[in-house]
Structure 1
């Protein structure tokens, strides 16, 4: 299934061709209103999707297929308890950070900054595939970089999940961008500005994706390819990430995990168009705007 949230936070299933959507909101239990801040229905859907699949499929069969271009896609997550992000998960990215990025943008970076680790981003930084990246006025004078990342959503939560069972806790996968303010200061702060976590275009359930390490990631700024990599090049694969994160903190349904930036990170400026695709997950193009620019 390809689960999308659209318009006034309705739930849709995207067709196999990626160009139509069917509204299945009526099959969602306890969806009382469209307030995204009270959307506990999404977290319950993440937890109970297996049981809800037949009703969603039946609702899709009865619904009219609408062209996807007629709706506004939202980020395909709502109210995650946390965004867990990975650092230093591609060897070539570690090298570019050590040799190029950190010497330019940080005064005396500690050695641990280049080790694999996880950190938290603010859920308020999430935006959707129809929303621009807005460069914050507070970061004036600093470079803002793009980082394309394979991203996942937890379905069945847990603590101390074994690596061999970890992928069974994944609801599905989507495209993520970890937009980053370069320079000194806490990593979580520099990555948590509003609109610094674009997610989309929809969530593809794990059963349709198969092996996440077989996915290909590409990011362009304008016509220039900046990042192009296989997820198989990760230092720490997805199953180990989920297991490791669950040893540090309990994972809950709806939690978001970003798996780390491939090599090729670089600056974005107002007027740029950032286009990112991941095989079997889709594509999204997001404009970059300056603070105070008209929407």
Structure 2
């Protein structure tokens, strides 16, 4: 099914066990003093969206970006999932933990979105999803969604406790630690048999 309606796109931080483990003792430092007790979300506004097959421009002075290979739930209603779609949530490498990394994540074109939604009953159990990330054809990362802190249904239930999702809204399951980096000229491919392949090329921003 092709994407027709898009609402708000939400990213989820610290929803992979490896992501939390990589933070180490930082999670216990002020002001939070512990791992998050509720989902930590951020928004990828419409200016960040790039279609499958499109070029993504890196601004001058940005040597490389982190690849955030993930899957998003596409909502049919507040609590009903229409299906799943591939995403590449790019960001400029940063060490921000205490503040939403808007300047690193919300640049123009910094969210590649797959061009097809796979219905939930066709995609299978999200807990067994596995993505492969390739740069210029070389395998760089395998993302296993069995390692989620909050599996898809739990994440949706917890988010629904404090906000209402609408038709077309998209909620990412999260990005794992060990995200590969890419530079201008690199072709990025994120693939999974049930969801196809999301492919984009990084180019230099026009002067």
- TM-score, normalised to structure 1's length? 0.61
Q: 1:130 aligns with which of 50, 53, 61?
A: 53
Label 1:109 to 1:132 Cα distance change in 2 as closer, same or farther (>3 A). farther
Check conservation: 1:201, 1:283, Cα contact below 8 A. no
The equivalent of 1:83 in structure 2 is 9
The equivalent of 1:180 in structure 2 is 91
* Contact 2:52/2:114 (8 A) holds in 1: yes
2:154 match: secondary structure: helix
Instruction: State the Cα distance separating 1:263 from its structure 2 match.
Output: 2.9
Give the helix-richer structure, 1 or 2: 1
CA deviations on 1:132-155 (whole Å, 9 max, x unpaired) are 121123xx2564211100112100
5+ residue gaps, structure 2, are none
Corresponding residue pairs, total: 199
Q: Do residues 205 (structure 1) and 119 (structure 2) align?
A: yes
| 2:193 aligned with 1:282 | no
The answer as to 2:43 corresponding to 1:120 is yes
8 Å contact from structure 1 (residues 142, 182) kept in 2: no
Q: Does the 8 A contact of 2:62 with 2:92 survive in 1? A: no
- Between the aligned partners of 1:153 and 1:244, the Cα distance in structure 2 is 16
Structure 1 residue runs of 5 or longer lacking an equivalent are 5-75, 103-107, 158-165
Q: Which residue of 2 aligns with 1:10?
A: none
Per the TM alignment, residue 117 of structure 1 is displaced from its structure 2 partner at its CA by 1.7
Please list, as runs of the form range in 1=range in 2, the aligned pairs for 1:208-223 lying within 5 A after superposition.
208-223=122-137
Deviations 1:227-249 (A, max 9, x none): 21321211110011111221221
Distance 1:136 1:78, change over 3 A: farther
Contact 1:147/1:261, CA 8 A, preserved across alignment: yes
Which of 143, 157, 180 is the equivalent residue of 1:266? 180
Moved over 6 A (4+): none
CA-atom RMSD, angstroms?
2.5
- What residue is the counterpart of 1:246 in the other structure? 160
Deviations 1:89-145 (A, max 9, x none): 11223334x37xx9xxxxx997679745222221321111021121123xx256421
State the 1:77 CA deviation.
Answer: 5.1
Give the structure 1 partner of residue 77 of structure 2: 156
Structure having the higher Rg: 1
Residue by residue over 1:201-258, the C-alpha shift from the partner in whole angstroms, topping out at 9 and shown as x without a partner, is 3111112113111211111112332221321211110011111221221110000111
Take 2:205 and 2:33, find their aligned partners in 1: how far apart are those partners? 33
